[in-house]
Amino acid sequence: MKVVIIGGVAGGATAAARLRRLDEHAEIVVFERSGYISYANCGLPYYIGGVIEDPEALTLQTPESFFARFRVDMRVRHEVTAIHPERKTVSVKNLDTGGEFEESYDKLILSPGAKPTQPRLPGVGLERLFTLRTVEDTFRVKEYINTRHPKSAVLAGGGFIGLELAENLRELGMDVTIVQRPRQLMNPFDPDMAAFIHSEMRSHGVKLALGHTVEGFEERDGGVDVLLKDEAPLHADMVVLAIGVTPDTALAKAAGLELGLKGSIVVNDRMETSDPDIYAVGDAVQVKHYVTGQDVLLSLAGPANKQGRIAADNICGGDSRYPGSQGSSVIRVFDLTAASTGVNETNAKKAGLDADAVVLSPMSHAGYYPGGKLMTMKVVFEKGTDRLLGAQIVGYEGVDKRIDVLSAAIHAGLTATRLKDLDLAYAPPYSSAKDPVNMAGFLVENLSKGIVKQFRLEDMKDLPRDGRVTLLDVRTPGEYDRGHIEGFRNIPVDELRERLGELPPGRPVYVMCQSGLRSYIACRILAGRGYDAYNFSGGFRFYDAVVSDRRLIESAAACGMDR
C-alpha cells in the first residue's frame, strides 16, 4: 500500500506516524511546500518575542529525524499542484529545482491546513505588511524587528495569534494597537467575558480599536497607514494581518471533491472525502460541532492531530470515528489565562438552543491558604434539560484544569447539575473542598429546583425605577460607597433580618452583592419571609467590569481610539 500525504504539519505528520505504527510495510510519502514539518504554529509568536530563543525548538521533527524513526519519505519544499483522482496520482513541483513530476497513490490524505485570510484591500502586499502562519513567516517578522527596530505595530485581528503577538511585541517595548471590525476580542468568548480580556490588554498598554473597519493600507513616512472607514488612519512601523484563516482547498476544489463552509472539504466521521480513496484532516475540513451538531470550521491543533490519527486508522482497515469538535482552547493574555470549551451563550442561542448561564467568581484555591486569586466562570446550559453546553473561564492559576474538567463533562454528556457530584482532588494549595466546578453545579441545581431565581446583566436596563420593585445591595457600606448601581439601596446581608421592615411588602426584590454569594443568602432569607427575590448573576464585580468595558468601547467608537 502506498499513501501520499499533502501537508506535513499537525494532521499530516500525525497521520504519517500512525500509519507507520500500524503498517511497517506501507510506502508513505509526505509533500510539504514549506521548508519545515511538524512545527508548532502556536509557538510562533513566542519566538518573535524571545520567550523561545532557539528557532530549532519550533520544529518537533525534521525530515531526517522523521525518516530515521518512521522511514517516512518527507519531502519539504515540494508543492502538490494538482490531484488526479481518475488515475490516482498527484502532480508535484520541487520548489528548489523547479522540476515537476507525478506521484501515484493508493490512498491520499489532504492536510493542507488554512492560510491567513488576505482581504482584497488596497495596499495588501506592502513590504511592512506581514502574516504569521508558517516558520518562514516568523523568521521574516523576526528579521524585520531585529534589523529595522520598529517602535510601533498595528495588528489587524484579535484572535489567538493577534493576542499572543500583541503580548510578545509589548514585551519587546513596541507600541501595539489591535484593530478589528468586531467589538470584542476572542470570538470563543461571550462579550461579557471578553471584557476581562480587554481590561488585561489595556492594563499592559495595548490599545484597542474595536468596531472599526479596515479599508486599506498606504506607505507613509517610513511606515504604514492603516486606513479605517469613517475614521482617521492608524500609523505604525509595521502591520500584521491576523484577521483569521481560510481553508486552503484549491487542490480539493480542482479535483472535484465536495466542499462546504468557506470552501472547506466535506468529510464524514471517518475523515473520508467524497472520493473513497481520499481523506482530509485539519484546518481545511468541515466538521460537526460536538454540542450543537452544526457544521463548523475550527482551526485548532488538537482536533487536527486526532483527525490525522483517525484517517490513518481507517486506511489501515480500522473503524475509527471523529465525534466532532468542542473547540476547547486556552490562551495566556499577559498575566491572565482565558479558556473556553463547548459553545458560548451567544452561539448557543444562534443555534436555536434555549440557553441560560450562571456566572461565579470562585477562588483558585482555599481562601485561607495564601496566594489564592479570583477567577470568573461562566457556565452555559440548556433550560429545562440542564444539558451542559459550554463554559468560559478567565483568571490566573487553576483556569486550565477547570476548563479541562468541564470539557470532559460535556464530552461525557453530563448535565450541568451533575457537576456538583464530581469527586475532584482537594488540598488547600490547589483547590477548595467545594471546587469551582462543583460550585457551578450547585448554582445550576438551585436554579433548576427553584431554590433561587436569578436576573442577568441584560435584564438590568429593564428593571423599573418607579418603586414597583425593590432594588437591594447587600454588601457592606464601605463596598457600597466605593461603587454601586443607581437605584439600589444598601442593607448589609447580616443586618437584613432585623431591617426587613424597611422593605415594602408584596414587591419583588432584586438583590446584588459583590460576587453573588451574599445576595444568594439574602434571597433565601427573603424567600423564607415571603418575598419574591431574584439574585444578580455574577455580582457587582462582574457588572462593573462589563459595563466599564462597554463604555470604553463606545468612547473609542466616538473618538477613534481606545486608550
Residue 519 has φ and ψ, to the nearest 5°, of -70, -30
Beta bridge partners of 217: 226
To 10 degrees, the CA torsion angle through 377, 409, 158, 59? 130
Distance CA 386, CA 224 (A): 51
Scored b (16 or more CB within 10 A) or e, 440-472 reads: bbbbbbbbbeeebebbbbeebeebeeeeebbbb
CA 121 to chain centroid: 27
Q: SS3 sequence, 233-250?
A: CEEECEEEECCCEEECCH
CA distances from 370 to 14, 17, 364, 454 (A): 43, 46, 11, 32
Distance CA 435, CA 340 (A): 18
DSSP run (H or E) holding 535: strand 533-536
CA 290 to chain centroid: 16
Scored b (16 or more CB within 10 A) or e, 507-534 reads: ebbbbbbbbbbbbbbbbebbbeeebebb
Scored b (16 or more CB within 10 A) or e, 135-154 reads: bebbbebbebbeeeebebbb
- DSSP codes, 487-504: T-EE--GGGTGGGGGGSP
Distance CA 378, CA 538 (A): 9
Q: Helix (H, G, I), strand (E, B), or coil: what is residue 69?
A: helix
Task: Say which of 42, 513, 523, 559 is annotated catalytic.
Answer: 42
**Under a CB-based contact definition with an 8 Å cutoff, are residues 138 and 44 in contact?**
yes
Q: Is 513 a catalytic residue?
A: no
Query: Which triple of cell numbers denotes residue 230?
Result: 469613517
Task: Supply the residues annotated as catalytic.
Answer: 42
